[in-house]
Structure 1
């Protein structure tokens, strides 16, 4: 489908090796949380992870006009790796699927375990995420998962909602100005991929 190899320029060890997947579903962060009323002045911009082929691990991220912003690709020849590419098909992130999956985001996050980047809270009701030294919180609300800054009562930044054939990401213009689009899309992919990320 895509002509450029998604792993060009990445140092990948253990190519061709596969690892067994846990049969248990990943722990859910959806559940009952006290949720304060959030007000914000920022407008919302909507993106969709869509064109599942056959699932979210082979898909595209498009804006409301259908323009492709990211390509998510899990190569059949290397099923242990998922690459996230920009619209020019340059790899910006790489997930290595093993017993404890790892994530690397070019110029943003050095290779580390996903469970350390999207750290589950002790009560398993939310996840924290650090981007450029700033801590953010992913917390459930109704049928969506919302992103907040660490002062979460006043700082809604984005939400993720799943439909049968797509995943909607609504992100505030404030979050876009903070350059959170890439990390929000990648976190949404990890939270909604159906695989164990811990």
Structure 2
């Protein structure tokens, strides 16, 4: 089922190199704290926090049409894409049937997360670092980083304190698994993380 490389889709040039993240400088859309990432290996090696697991399942035929299932098998989101063509929209519905987020697949795709991320280009919301080794993400005035390492893409905090692991994403046989901390969920990051996972595994170029 999975025939595409999410690192290539995401624009990362060398995800196999765990040290490449330290070789570049922040782009214009990124926070000016490159020295923080020297601590990443220590953050990864530390005892991981308790993670809540969600699975993207029932692909039809891809993650652009799927269900997101959480603890106790509860459906948290339905992801629906209107067509495979440019100009189509991917909508994220919560259990109440309300639209939680949307991606519009123009030549320059846009993204919006209800109540948290104003409509903007996906390339701006999840911008590549200058060395193309990770992506930054702004959410409610705070910066985060999606960092690929081996077969896992991890979400870290960015700031004056050492990076903190908030989520990680990996492929499984018939699904994509998102593990996210309770702290991140309480901070409202679940919607944004779900949208980011779909972007990263969409098989489409989003900037």
TM-score bracket, normalised by the shorter chain, equals 0.7 to 0.9
RMSD: 2.1
Match of 1:32 in 2: 17
Moved more, 31-40 or 98-107: 31-40
Alignment check: 8 A CA contact 1:36 1:153 kept = no
Aligned residues between the structures: 175
Match of 1:147 in 2: 155
**C-alpha deviation, 1:153, in angstroms:** 4.6
1:31-50 Cα deviation digits (max 9, x unpaired): 31235132357311100111
Residue in 2 aligned with 1:185? 194
Gaps of 5+ in 2: 1-7, 20-39
Q: How far 1:74 moved relative to its partner? A: 0.6
State the match for 1:125 in structure 2: 133
Cα gap change, 1:126 to 1:77, in 2 (>3 Å): closer
TM-score (norm 2): 0.78
Q: Is 1:55 aligned to 2:40, yes or no?
A: no
Could you list the per-position Cα deviations for residues 19-42 of structure 1 after superposition, in whole angstroms to 9, with x for gaps in the alignment? xxxxx9552363312351323573
Residues 52 and 59 in structure 1, CA contact (< 8 A), matched pair in contact too: yes
Q: Secondary structure at the match of 1:93?
A: strand
Unaligned 5+ residue runs, structure 1?
A: 1-23
- State whether residues 48 and 165 of structure 2, in contact with CA within 8 Å, keep that contact through their aligned partners in structure 1: no
Structure that is richer in helix per residue = 2
Q: Which moved more, 1:55-64 or 1:145-154?
A: 145-154
Tell me the TM-score normalized by structure 1.
Answer: 0.81
Q: Deviation per CA, 1:87-144, whole angstroms, max 9, x where unpaired?
A: 1221111111011100111111111100000000010000000000000000012210
Paired with 1:121 and 1:99, the residues of 2 have a C-alpha distance of: 21
CA contact (8 A) 1:37 1:153 kept: no
The verdict on how the C-alpha distance between 1:109 and 1:25 changes in structure 2, with shifts beyond 3 A counting, is: closer
Could you list the per-position Cα deviations for residues 25-84 of structure 1 after superposition, in whole angstroms to 9, with x for gaps in the alignment?
A: 552363312351323573111001111011100001001321100110012498711101
- Provide the residue aligned with 1:16 in structure 2: none
Name segments (4+ residues, structure 1) moved above 6 Å: none
Q: How does 1:1-198 map to 2 (within 5 A)?
A: 25-28=9-12, 30-34=15-19, 35-38=40-43, 39=46, 42-76=49-83, 80-151=88-159, 153-198=162-207
